[in-house]
Amino acid sequence: MRGKGLILATLCLAALIINLDTTIVNVALPALVRQTGATTTDLQWVVDAYNLTFAALLLAAGSLSDRLGRKGMLLAGLGVFGAASLAGSFAVTVGQLIAARAVMGLGAAMMFPSTLSLLTNVFTARRERALAIGVWGASAGVGIALGPIAGGWLLERYWWGSIFLFFVPVTAVVAAMTARWVPTSRDPRTPPVDWRGFALSAAGMGLLVYGIIQMPGRCWARRSARRSARSDSIRSSPPAPHAPSSRR
């Protein structure tokens, strides 16, 4: 039972840092504007580059982990996530930071489905599996709530890149725990890899999420343009002539 507890703690930590990174970056946006001159569009993509690649590659990465090995995929995702966090912490331009955030999303997509698959593979009894999934889900919520708190604490003492550098030792510790305690597993019943299907799935999900991200700004811009066009046409139209009043 102690071994299962260590496995559960490891997988919950992996899920926690994925969700922690989703919200911790929001605290650093004002500092990015002051120190890098980032525009509003730049800030949007600093946040959304992570979400876009994470959502686009999540299904494909989960399917690959079932075929290639879930523990190996989790370790690879932790390595990608940690390396991208290190690169993002020392980014010189906003473009470099956005690229690092996109790679962090790739690492998160490799990690997240592996944690749940490993969890269900280790905890086979119905009651303990339900408990483990509940703890795993709660850790994700804790990560979202801790993001602004951890980000604010780091920004009070260090520069904006510290919120990304913070993840480097954390991912290293989780990787060591994964290598030590998490067992290897894969699904032998899965069919061969359909690379074309993976590419189409990732492209379709990416376009869908991209459309959702861009839709509010595009629709708002079109509505504003229509309002201004109507206002201009009203102001430029000549006043209607008044009919002369007849007096008796």
Q: What is the DSSP string of 160-185?
A: TTHHHHTHHHHHHHHHHHHHHHPPP-
Residue 230 in domain: no
Q: Is the pLDDT of residue 219 over 60?
A: no
Residue 239 in domain: no
Q: Could you read off the pLDDT of 101-113 as tens digits, one per residue?
A: 999 999 999 999 9
Residue 248 in domain: no
Residue 55 in domain: yes
Q: Could you read off the pLDDT of 155-196 as tens digits, one per residue?
A: 999 889 999 999 999 999 999 999 999 988 877 777 666 667
Residue 246 in domain: no
Domain that holds residue 167: 2-217
- Split into its structural domains, the chain has a count of 1
Residue 7 in domain: yes
| Predicted TM-score (pTM) of this structure | 0.80
CATH code of the domain covering residue 121:
1.20.1250.20
Q: Positive or negative CA dihedral for 163, 168, 169, 174? A: positive
Q: Is the pLDDT of residue 24 over 70?
A: yes
What is the pLDDT at residue 207? 72
Lowest mean pLDDT among 160-169, 190-199, 200-209, 237-246: 237-246
Higher pLDDT residue, 19 or 221?
Answer: 19
Residue 138 in domain: yes
Residue 147 in domain: yes
